[in-house]
Amino acid sequence: MKAGGLMIDMDGTVCKGMDIIPGADDFIDFLKSNGIPFVFLTNNSSRTRDYYLEKLNRMGFGISAENILTSAGASSRYIRGKYPDARVYPVASPEVSAELEASGLNIDYDNPDTVLLTFDRTITYDKINTCYRLLRDGARFIATHPDDVCPTETSYDIDIGPFIRMFEQMCDSKPEIVGKPGRLMLEMASEAMGIEPATAVMVGDRLYTDI
């Protein structure tokens, strides 16, 4: 079957931190010159789409915002579609929280009924306890992705997978997970490229998060 378009992971696939992986820019140039649709996908919900757009273009990829889908953006779209009246408490950095709100998500710190767990590098003990109490009392639990670690230039950082398991154990609450390797985010990327999901090709660096 001929590939209709490519879904390309970012961290560890085309770059590690700010270091471009050799040949990645030439590959993207090939796709653009041959009119092959592609979308960069990242489970890393610690940053906004604008951040990734600036980062990738600073590396020389020459792409537009439509070429990027983050798990935070996909989660916002999922919640707004499935739970349009949800009042969301975001466990997220200030800039990601602002992006979620700008996308139309109903952010509510006072009376939320939904917890959205992202890769929050600004997480605090107060946030953890707030999340715990909300989930313990029956709030809906949604996580942007399931990754245990996130690649850096030289090693790996703890991601949100261990936090998911902690809240599962403490609150007896199973999350709805939006990011890779589940279908939700991949179907959104296929729609953005205007192709059938069955014709999409996934390019990644780790079987348990990308395939």
pLDDT band at residue 15 using 50, 70 and 90 as cut-offs: confident
Where does residue 110 rank: exposed (0-12), middle (13-18), buried (19+ CB within 10 A)? exposed
Whether the Cβ atoms of residue 114 and residue 86 lie closer than 8 Å to each other = yes
Domain with CATH 3.40.50.1000 in the chain: 5-71+180-210, 84-177
Whether the Cβ atoms of residue 190 and residue 172 lie closer than 8 Å to each other = no
pLDDT value of position 97 = 97
Handedness of CA 65, 160, 203, 15 (dihedral sign): positive
Helices and strands per DSSP (H, E), number in the chain: 8, 12
Q: Is 163 helix (H, G, I), strand (E, B) or coil?
A: helix
pLDDT value of position 176 = 96
Strand pairing report for 19-20 and 15-16: antiparallel
pLDDT band at residue 205 using 50, 70 and 90 as cut-offs: confident
Architecture of the domain spanning 5-71+180-210: 3-Layer(aba) Sandwich (3.40)
Give the residue-averaged pLDDT of 16-28. 85
For the segment 87-108, what is each residue's pLDDT rounded down to a tens digit?
Answer: 999 999 999 999 999 999 999 9
- Residue 202, φ and ψ in degrees, nearest 5: -95, 130
- Name the CATH superfamily, with its identifier, for domain 84-177: HAD superfamily/HAD-like (3.40.50.1000)
The answer on pLDDT for 151 being more than 80 is no
Weakest mean pLDDT among 24-33, 58-67, 147-156? 147-156
